[in-house]
Amino acid sequence: MQRSDFFYVLPPHLIAQFPSRLRRGSRLLSVQAGQLQDLQFADFPRLLRKGDLLVFNDT
């Protein structure tokens, strides 16, 4: 991963200003083996595998 990977144009109108009313419908981008998937947060549990570690940050 390079710092340059994080330099991209992100139009302000594409940035959510408020959370989705129905959180399970929030969008989720999954990257596995270089493959991108545009999912919803409700799909998150099926992405987890035995032995995966979840880290939560509430700052």
How many other β-carbons are positioned within 10 Å of the β-carbon of residue 12?
6
CA distance 6 to 19: 23
Give residue limits of the domains in the chain: 3-47
pLDDT in tens, 1-57: 889 988 989 999 988 888 888 888 888 999 989 899 999 999 999 999 999 999 999
pLDDT in tens, 23-39: 888 889 999 898 999 99
Nearest CA-CA partner of 16 in 30, 26, 29, 31: 26
CA distance 28 to 38: 6
pTM flag (> 0.75): no
